[in-house]
Amino acid sequence: MSHPRFFSGKFLLTHAFLTLNLAYVVSPAPGRAQSAPAVASTATNPLLAPWSGPYGGVPAFDKVKVEQFKPALEAAMAENLREIDAIAGNPQPATFANTIAALERAGQRLDEVQTVYGIWSGTLSTPEVQAIQRLMAPRLAAFNDQINQNAALFKRIEAVYNSPDKKKLTPEQQRLAWLYYNNFVRAGAKLDATAKTRLSAINQQLAGLFTRFSQNVLADETDSVLVLKTPADLAGLPASLQADAAGAATARKIAGVAGVITNTRSSIEPFLTYSDQRKLREKAWRMFYNRGDNGGAHDNNAIISEILQLRAERAKLLGYATHAHWRLDNTMAKTPEAAMALMEQVWKPAVARAKQEVADMQALAQKEGAAFKIAPWDYRYYAEKVRKQRYDLDQNEVQQYLQLDKMREGMFWVAGELFNFTFASVTNVPVYHPDVKVWEVKDKTTGKHVGLWYFDPYARPGKRSGAWMNAYRNQQRLEGNVTTIVSNNSNFVKGKDGAPTLISWTDASTLFHEFGHALHGLSSSVTYPSLSGTSVVRDYVEFPSQVLENWLPTPQVLQRFAVHYQTGKPIPQALVDRIEKASTFNQGFETTEFLASALVDMKLHLAGAQKIDADKFERETLAQLGMPAEIVMRHRTPQFSHVFASDSYSAGYYSYLWSVVLAADAFSAFTEAGGPYDKAVGQRLVQNIFSVGNTVDPADAYRAFRGRDPKIDALMRERGFPVPTAQPAKQPAAQKPASKKS
């Protein structure tokens, strides 16, 4: 997942919320609009100073003060406006060099200020930071519209795009010219003055609503905890989870209790899996799944309705039937209908499998004397019991071999094998929190510096939940060899008194997933920053991260890095065999909870201008879909930050499934060859997927790697679903972007 982040000067896409990494793309730097004050002194506001120090410069996190954000943003925006004035007002005929490349160079200071601002907003969100967010979000949206609606600037971009000289440009330059032109058009550059004014007002309103939505979710996550009062409340919890709960109580200064379960997925899901106390499981479940849906000041339902209305109006202004049609016009899928076709193809077998899983759990519960019907807060608990009974596989046993630090070392090793990278810990750069650690990444053969990787693994108050990747600086060669700086962020519960942090198999998979995004950024080898790293279309950006998950269960990783936290002995092969045997277990649940969120997201945004009651729409849509009563959406609408904390994944949550089709098919290229570490296939993966950024049409890039279009077969086999006998008419592979681009 990812969180929203604003950029000017370049089309940069960060995978932050991917969280939410809710990546956010904005159009290039500004146009004429207002008089611009001089940039404040860097002596009085270090946020405005260019990044300095080793590795091509690094953020000066140790000098940041919250009160500096507002004046720094204002000054950097003003400077960026002057840069754009110079480009838009250039008396010379528009060329790629004096317009497109000039835009790529503009906005450096604002990019750097907003990078730091985004980190504080997502990981150190105090009331003071939140007040600045509420103030600045609409102003940043208005600023971006000044850029998008600058007629003189667009005229020059359009001239370059339509010039017969364009064919003389390199393929990368031609794609960049198209990207600028397309993004400006999609942002309303061709609208008349009245429509532009209304569009800007909508964007400013939405920016404020997005901020309120995300702050409401954060408040429910931060303020709500489940207090375990007595030792009896710990019944069923493994020792590691009991220690985590005790540590959380200490961190929150809650004395005289057995422990505390915080309101984040990394804490809630293990509790729901192991707690023998059904009433406490229900309390934990309701606390987590009702975030943003509790009435009062932090309720998000009215905000959702307003966001949907504004999005529908904006889509109509821009000439699209719905917000979903606008969002998917610039993706691999191209249309909501294509995305729906894929989801519907997987939905029925997923629900059928989920119903089988529920029947198995109900039978076991009744055998144990339970006199109730399986409820959503029972699902993980009884699924674990069935897993243990059927496969002799206890996830708690597996967790003893999954130490966070060792899994990180395993990721580094995989990166060395597939990407030829080495990682070395460094302490000569400032960090924004003591938990954050930094590694220098080098080429294993040449020793050449590749970039920096920051890791912020632990939950804390003021840090939003989830896991995401961020790019602090994108690789580029426009002005020298600029290397990248990327980060991964998680919300694990920190081990008490230096004890190792044990994580679940699911958490380990998520760790590899987010590291895949980081490797996408680190592998980038392009000239222009707007085309760098993860700056690709939404339903393609998850592909490199999804595919990397496949290397976690390889014997080479497990035998070296899955070692017992007490004995240091590697995970027994018999346990690995049981993990493999159970690999398709519970796929009905996991696929159904995801697809329910993706389908509701799409249907909300296909509903057009109708006034929507979010809770009612969610209930009725799930009933129409035949959603099993024992399962809830992975992200219910009142807390669906992917969709309502920015435009990022709106009408786009389907992209995880779209990407996992690509990932499953891509990994089968390894299994068909010499195995997961086949050098030739790995080299093709890096050259055609990870290193090219957005310089190549994604459908063409995939074909260059695989030699054909992707098929859904590998995904269906991977999840234990029936493989279709014939491919449907609409597949990810069939949706080759128009020759114009994607």
Instruction: List phi, psi (to 5°) of 367.
Output: -65, -30
CA 603 vs CA 441, 564, 600, 612, 635: distances in Å: 43, 46, 5, 11, 15
Average pLDDT over the chain, rounded to whole?
Answer: 91
Residue among 215, 214, 208 nearest 306 (CA): 208
> Is pLDDT at 503 greater than 80 in this prediction?
yes
According to DSSP, residue 629 is labeled T
Examine the pLDDT at 153 and tell me if it is beyond 90: yes
pLDDT in tens, 443-496: 999 999 999 999 999 999 999 989 999 999 999 999 899 999 999 999 998 887
Q: What distance, in Å, lies between the first and last C-alpha atoms of the chain?
A: 22
How far apart are the C-alpha atoms of 223 and 541, rounded to whole Å? Answer: 33
Q: How much is the pLDDT for 542?
A: 96
pLDDT bin (cut points 50, 70, 90) of residue 40 is: low
CB 201 within 8 A of CB 32: no
CA 243 to chain centroid: 29
The predicted structure's pLDDT at residue 44: 84
Q: What is the pTM of this model?
A: 0.90
Q: Which of 594, 565, 583 is nearest to 653 (CA)?
A: 594
Q: What is the pLDDT of residue 31?
A: 32
Q: What is the pLDDT of residues 56-102, one digit of tens each?
A: 999 999 999 999 999 999 999 999 999 999 999 999 999 999 999 99
Of 436-440, 535-539, 563-567, 725-729, the poorest mean pLDDT is in: 725-729
Extract the tokens encoding 315. 């889509």
Q: How confident is the model at residue 341, as a pLDDT?
A: 96
Burial class (CB in 10 A: 0-12, 13-18, 19+), 601: buried
Express as a percent the part of the chain with pLDDT over 90.
Answer: 89
Measured between alpha carbons, how far is residue 697 from residues 163, 395, 668, 689, 702 in Å? 21, 41, 22, 11, 9
| 718 annotated active-site | no
Quick check: 733 and 707 in contact, CB under 8 A? no
Q: How many CA atoms lie within 13 A of 221 on its CB side?
A: 24
**Token pair for 362:** 């109900």
Q: pLDDT tens digit string along 342-351?
A: 999 999 999 9
- Residue found by looking up tokens 């400006």 in the block: 184
Residue 145's pLDDT is 96
Report d(CA 473, CA 468) in Å as an integer: 16
Residues 6+ apart with CB under 8 A from 655: 331, 333, 538, 539, 540, 541, 542, 649
The residues, ordered by sequence, that sit 6+ positions from 625 with a Cβ below 8 Å of its Cβ are: 347, 596, 599
Tell me: pLDDT of 739 over 80. Answer: no
Looking at residue 707, its pLDDT comes to: 96
pLDDT in tens, 8-37: 333 222 223 333 333 323 333 333 333 334
Going from the N-terminus, what domains does the chain have, and what CATH number goes with each? 66-190 (1.20.1050.40), 224-290 (no CATH)
Q: Which of 83, 514, 618, 630 is catalytic?
A: 514
724 — pLDDT class (breaks 50, 70, 90): confident
Q: Name which of 465, 461, 408 is nearest 437 in CA terms.
A: 408
Number of C-alpha atoms within 13 angstroms, CB side, residue 709? Answer: 12
- Within a 10 A sphere around the Cβ of 498, how many other Cβ atoms? 6
Average pLDDT estimate for 695-703: 97
What's residue 164's pLDDT? 96
The model's pLDDT over 278-304, given as tens digits with 9 standing for 90+, comes to 999 999 999 999 999 999 999 999 999
State pLDDT tens for residues 328-385: 999 999 999 999 999 999 999 999 999 999 999 999 999 999 999 999 999 999 999 9
Whose structure tokens read 């370049």? Answer: 10
The arithmetic mean of pLDDT across residues 633-651, rounded, is 97
